Chain A
Amino acid sequence: MSIEIRSVSKKFSAFNALSDVSLTVPSGELVALLGPSGSGKTTLLRIIAGLESPDQGSILFDGEEATNRQVRERQVGFVFQHYALFRHMTVFDNVAFGLNVRPRKFRPSKADIQEKVHGLLKLVQLDNLAGRYPAQLSGGQRQRVALARALAVEPQVLLLDEPFGALDAKVRLELRRWLRRLHDEIHVTSVFVTHDQDEALEVADRVVVMNAGRIEQVGTPEEVYDRPANPFVYNFLGNVNLFHGRVDKGEARIGGIAIDMPELGEADAGPAVAYVRPYDIEINRQRHSPEEIEARIRFIQGAGAVARLELERLDSLELIEAEMTRERYKELALAEGETVFLRPRNMRVFAGDYII
């Protein structure tokens, strides 16, 4: 089932949780709502579920108006951040709940429910724990029970609120890969909320980057990572270095480097900020061109596949982060305190004095 959100706004007293948000989630896609806390991503998810109602705008399921449809008629599966398992019910009863509360006419027979629940518990690899209570399960197990419970009612849409937020790093990693595989198997339209960029980039078909109640960018993980639409997205997705400069006459000057920006007209003279990923900072021991920036190495973290360096510009004393492969690091044989020459590649310039 496809979901369409049409200019939805929501206020909580004076706080604008969502301002005029529009988004389309095509059927069968796995979409991540990514943003910092307070960006409105959970509110948007709850509005899709019907747990909150929008002040303005509408929600359409498969092109049909659903804004005022009752929560229980929306056929959505919702996985809560803190699982919200029924604490007084066993794992089996938790998963069976959605089937047991159906009106008698639509309720499957006891045997069918048995079969269905055990099938789902097998799917989430918890069939041997059907008789346990939530309190007796680990965080990862509870999360999978919550997922099985949501899937039991055969939802048209699966909504997950920070599904791995409360888990430790290793379980998180396992579970999100598992969620991706599960989605590839059952292909239910899914939306999940996260503040973890790695999670969004790894799991989702498309990433919706949100900030302060608005959508900043929608795109595939590659699109949002490689071609961020604006400084916020650049900053939010991964580490980044800032270089301040000016734009004038269709050209940006960042330090000694000139970059053509034909998209900017004559009128756009003013400050500009260039963004460079740490791995796009090239480090040399000798100066090759006058454009290169002189910097001193303050700190090196050489363990692991990627070496991370913290450098200080000699001219402005600003800090710069750089990353290089292990081989390059060994080849250069850098040491803390040395002076080196930096050359930023793939600069992305945004006009205006954007301050984080």
Chain B
Amino acid sequence: MKTDGKGMSEPLLVRWLLTGIALAFLGLFLFVPLAALFTQAFEKGAGAYFAAIREPDALLAIKLTLVTAAISVPLNLVFGVAAAWAIAKFRFPGKSLLITLIDLPFSVSPVVSGLIYVLLFGLQGWLGPWLDAHDIKILFAVPGIVLATIFVTFPFIARELIPLMQAQGNDEEEAAMVLGATGLQIFFQVTLPNIKWGLIYGVILCNARAMGEFGAVSVVSGHIRGVTNTIPLHVEILYNEYNYAAAFAVASLLALLALVTLVAKSLVEWKLKASG
């Protein structure tokens, strides 16, 4: 049966109308703001744009964002693969609880996630006095930001891998085991190549969120300029100081990251389809 036959398709007008609405919506809410962002950023010329980015506080914010991502993404990579492996390949008590816990950061507002850390590590919190006595700074310092970011970005990789690994089943691993492969050989030569593209996809999403996270990080950072500011926080500060051009210039970095992420994501999606 042909699905593109006359009887199966909508009238031309309806198709045009639906496509038109979708494109108009996309233009209004995506491209116009994006264009506005870059226009604003370059409002005072390219010189002011690069000055805003090269300013020491901005550079420190960029550096902190990169450091945060560089710590949290690999950690979540290890955690995500381990959790997905455990959930997809083994039967154990408490499995559904673990799946629910992995989803928790998705279902909780990032601000609440941040507050959890304040409750834990704050001076009035559970561990606060002990940390203070031992002169360990977590809240309003880099460790707090990293912890909050890890928490918020925790589900991305595991969530991407679990359905993939469940669909692939255990057969290939069992086959490798019978053929005499060790656990490590099975993981690196059989499991990892099979989940490679799904894993990369998860890492891209995780990284984008780690660099762009605002809510949770905002609560734990304390907004100390040049010390605990990430790019999103730095943008907020500049904006609140009516320094629009600089705010938009720094914000454009995040927008660029988003664009790069989108391109990378489409490439990987295409690869996933090709290899699946």
Interface residues of A (CB under 8 A from B): 49-51, 71-72, 74, 76-78, 80, 82, 84-88, 97-98, 101-102, 149-150, 152-153
Question: How far, in angstroms, from A152 to B181 measured CA to CA in the complex?
Answer: 14
Most buried by A among B172, B176, B178, B185: B178
Q: Do A71 and B177 touch across chains, with their CB atoms under 8 A apart?
A: yes
A80 touches B175 (CB 8 A): yes
User: B175 to A78, Cβ gap below 8 A?
Assistant: yes
Kindly list 8 other residue pairs between chains A and B, CB separation below 8 angstroms, not including A86-B193, A149-B175. A72-B177, A72-B179, A76-B178, A77-B178, A84-B172, A86-B172, A101-B179, A153-B179
Which B residues are in CB contact (< 8 Å) with A71?
177-178
**Interchain nearest-CB distance for A46 vs B (Å):** 9
Bound Cα distance A285, B189 (Å): 71
Q: Mark B191-202, 1 if CB is under 8 A from A, else 0.
A: 001100000000
B55 within 8 A of A: no
Query: Would you call B194 and A88 a contact (CB within 8 A)?
Result: yes
Q: Which residue of A lies closest to B196 (CB)?
A: A88
Q: Name B's A-contacting residues (CB within 8 A).
A: 171-172, 174-182, 185, 189-190, 193-194, 275
Q: Which residues of A contact B179 (CB under 8 A)?
A: 72, 97-98, 101, 149-150, 152-153
Given known pairs A86-B190, A87-B194, A101-B189, the reply for A80 and B174 (CB within 8 Å) is: yes
Q: Quick check: B176 and A78 within 8 Å, CB to CB?
A: no
Q: Are A101 and B178 in contact (CB under 8 A)?
A: no
Evaluate contact between B176 and A97: CB separation under 8 angstroms.
Answer: yes
Q: How far is the CA of A23 from the CA of B194 in the complex (A)?
A: 38
From residue B57, how far is it (CB to closest CB) to chain A in Å? 47
- Which residues on B sit within 8 Å (CB–CB) of A153? 179-180
A315 CA to B41 CA, complexed, in Å: 98
A72-B180 contact, Cβ under 8 Å, with A87-B194, A88-B193, A101-B189? yes
> Chain A residues with Cβ under 8 A from B178's Cβ?
49-51, 71-72, 74, 76-78, 150
10 contacts between A and B (CB under 8 A): A72-B178, A72-B180, A72-B182, A74-B178, A86-B175, A86-B176, A86-B190, A87-B172, A97-B179, A101-B176
* Smallest CB separation, B96 vs chain A (Å): 16
- Tell me the bound Cα distance from A263 to B220 in angstroms: 87
Interface contact B194-A84, CB-CB below 8 Å:
no
B180: chain A residues at CB < 8 Å are 72, 98, 101-102, 153
Nearest-Cβ distance from residue B27 to partner chain A, whole angstroms = 40
In the bound complex, how far is the Cα of B194 from the Cα of A101, in angstroms? 18
Q: Which A residues lie within 8 Å of B175 (CB)?
A: 78, 80, 84-86, 149
Contacts of B189 in A (CB 8 A): 86, 97, 101
Q: CA separation between A72 and B186, bound complex, in Å? A: 12
Closest to A13 in B: B91
Q: Considering the chains assembled together, what is the distance between the CA atoms of A98 and B177 in angstroms?
A: 9
Q: Tell me, rounded to whole Å, the shortest Cβ–Cβ distance linking B175 to chain A.
A: 4
Q: Are B174 and A84 in contact (CB under 8 A)?
A: yes
Q: How far is the CA of A98 from the CA of B180 in the complex (A)?
A: 6
Candidate in A72, A82, A149 with the most chain B CB atoms within 10 angstroms: A72
> Is B182 within 8 A of A80, CB to CB?
no
Residues on the A chain within 8 Å of B181, using CB: 72, 97, 101
Closest Cβ of chain A to B171, distance in Å, is 4
Alpha-carbon distance between A153 and B172 when the two chains are bound, in angstroms: 16
How many Å lie between the Cα of A152 and that of B180 in the bound state? 11
**Cβ of A118 to closest chain B Cβ, rounded Å:** 18
Q: Which B residues are CB-close (under 8 A) to A82?
A: 171
Min CB distance B167 to A, Å, is 12
Tell whether, in the assembled complex, residue B185 and residue A51 are in contact, meaning their CB atoms are under 8 Å apart: no
Docked pose: A77 CA to B178 CA in angstroms: 7
Q: Which of B175, B177, B180, B190 has the most CB of A within 10 A?
A: B180
Q: Give every chain A residue within 8 A of B171 (Cβ-Cβ).
A: 80, 82, 84
B174: chain A residues at CB < 8 Å are 51, 78, 80, 84
Q: Residue on A with the closest CB to B190?
A: A86
Q: B residues within 8 A CB of A102?
A: 180
* Distance (whole angstroms) from the CB of B247 to the closest CB of chain A: 47
Q: Give A49 to B172 CA distance when docked, in angstroms.
A: 15
Q: Which residue of A lies closest to B172 (CB)?
A: A84
Looking at the assembled complex, report how far the CB atom of B182 sits from the nearest CB atom of chain A, in whole angstroms: 7
**Chain B residues with Cβ under 8 A from A152's Cβ?**
179
Closest 10 CB pairs of A and B: A84-B171, A98-B179, A84-B175, A101-B181, A78-B178, A88-B193, A72-B180, A101-B185, A71-B177, A84-B172
